[in-house]
Amino acid sequence: MSELVLQHGCAKGGEPYVPQVCRVIDVRDQTHDVKTIRVQTPEGGLPFERKPGQLAMVSLPPYGECMFAIASQGPDYLEFVIKRVGFVTERLHELRPGDEVGVRGPYGNWFPFDSARGRNLVFVAGGIGMPPVRSFIEYALEHRADYGRIDIVYSASTYDDLVYKDDLFQNWPKEPDTHVHVSVYHATDGDGWSGKVGYTAPYLKEVFAEEGLATDNAAAVLCGGPSLYRTCREALLELGFDPADVVTTLEARMKCGVGKCGRCNVGGVFICLDGPVFTEAELARIPR
């Protein structure tokens, strides 16, 4: 088994701060506060090629700019999953097909889909941590033969907060040797959820025990909020994963996207440029 290698983006000249105008072609509600938005160039093309895990800055004049993981790339569009948390995302939620936004990127590195070939993959995500992970899942399913068994462990606060329900319950389970495990933290009568109720980390261990999963020749991909990240990281290491086989994507306030403005600096690393994807082995060397 070869080591997971994170590759970094190539230099991009010209005007790294200036977006290109894109048109919104599709807006869909995922949950009460999450929407997916698809954009393409005014000519109907793909704004740019991205690799799974990379970021892009979406700007909405006159309101502002926000960095998002690119959840998905279609033949002629990019898809973002946007949770309403602040002023700009509130406005982004008002977008409708035909509206124009600015998009710049891609920024950052990507998931080690090359060096992970041949391995089993375990995806662990919570809430709005799914979209970045999804880009890798999508890639792995497109190149299904290149990878071993795929397990997706996904949780959210409530049933409503689960994003990409179609994929979770319809599409992905149909893929060969692909297993989707979903739990919610809180269930109430009539919310439509009849499955597992519980937090992600214990559920993850349960899944490993029940399905008899092994950690050798596996790679884990982790993304979620601070407490989910902390608990699941520990769970994965307890299950026997080597820190070098666990990759995660980080989030920070970003402005420039090209490793200049200093905002997402953690130790010697700029998340927007050197990240957002890191292995646990790398993160261990970065100060808090």
Partner 1 sequence: MSRIGVFVCRCGTNIAGTVDVDAVAQAASLMPNVVYVDTNKYTCSDPGQASIAEAINENNLDHVVIASCSPRMHEALFRKLLAEKTNVNPYQLEIANIREQCSWVHKDKAIGTPKAIELVAMAVAKVDSNVDLHTTQIPVTRRALVIGAGIAGIQAALDIADAGFPVTLVERETTIGGKMPMLDKTFPTMDCSACICTPKMSEAAAHPNITIKTLSEVEKVEGYVGNFDVTIREKAKYVDYDKCTGCGQCEEKCPQRKIPSEFNQGLSFRTAVYKPFPQAVPSKSTIDPAHCRMLTKGTCGVCSKVCQAGAINYDDVDRVTTERYGAIVVATGYELINWANIYPEYGGGRYPDVISGLQFERLVNASGPTEGHVLRPSDRKEPKTVVIIKCVGSRDPHKGVSYCSRACCMYAAKHAHQYLDKVPDGRCYVFYMDVRCAGKGYDEFYMRTLQDGAIYLHGRVSRIYERDGKLVCVGEDTLSDQVVSVNADMVVLETAMVPPEGAGTLATTVNIQRGPEGWFTEAHPKLRPVETNTAGVYLAGTAQGPKDIPDTVAQAGAAASKAIGLLCRGYIQSNPMITHIDTAKCSGCGACVDICPYGALSLVEMTARENSRKVTRVVAEVNAGLCQGCGACTVACRPGAADLLGFGDEGIMQEVETYAYR
Partner 2 sequence: MIISKDNMGALADAIGATQTVYVPGTERAATRFVAHKKGEPVVLGGANVRMPPKDLLFPATEKMYRWKKHEGQLSLETEAAAHEPFTVLGVRPCDMASVAKLDLVFLTKGFVDEFYQARRDAATFVAVTCVDPDGDCFCEAMGVRLDAAPAADVLLVDRGGAYEAKPQTEKGEAAVAAWAEALGAGADAAAGDAVEAHCTLNPAAAKAEERLRAEDFDNVWHSVADYCLTCGTCTFECPTCYCFDISQDVRADEGARFRCWDSCMFTQYTLMAGNHNPRADRASRVRQRFMHKLRYFADRYGEGLCVGCGRCIRDCPAGVDIAAIIDAVATAPEHELTEAARTVQADEAKKEAAHV
Binding mask 50-69 for partner 2 (x = CB under 8 A): ---------x-xx-xxx---
**What's the min distance (Å) between Cβ of 101 and partner 2?**
8
94 binds, among partner 1, partner 2, none (CB under 5 to 8 A by kind): partner 1
287 binds, among partner 2, partner 1, none (CB under 5 to 8 A by kind): partner 2
96 binds, among partner 1, partner 2, none (CB under 5 to 8 A by kind): partner 1
Nearer to partner 2, 39 or 153 (CB): 39
Cα–Cα distances in angstroms (integers) from residue 106 to residues 69, 76, 276, in the given order: 9, 15, 12
Are β-strands 246-249 and 265-266 bridged in parallel, bridged antiparallel, or unpaired?
Answer: unpaired
230 contributes a contact to partner 2 by CB under 8 A: no
Nearer to partner 2, 18 or 145 (CB): 18
Q: Which of 6, 7, 16, 117 binds partner 2 (CB under 8 A)?
A: 16
**What's the min distance (Å) between Cβ of 136 and partner 1?**
27
237 contributes a contact to partner 2 by CB under 8 A: no
24 near 97, Cβ under 8 Å?
yes
Omega before residue 97 within 30° of 0, cis: no
* Helix ranges (DSSP H) in the chain: 87-92, 130-142, 165-166, 172-174, 200-211, 226-238, 271-274, 280-285
Q: Which of 41, 157, 231, 265 binds partner 2 (CB under 8 A)?
A: 265
d(CA 53, CA 70): 7
Q: Which two tokens stand for residue 121?
A: 């993959």
Q: Of 68-76, 81-89, 171-179, 211-219, which segment contacts partner 2 by CB under 8 A?
A: 81-89
Cα–Cα distances in angstroms (integers) from residue 166 to residues 162, 194, 216, in the given order: 10, 16, 31
d(CA 281, CA 121): 18
85 contributes a contact to partner 2 by CB under 8 A: yes
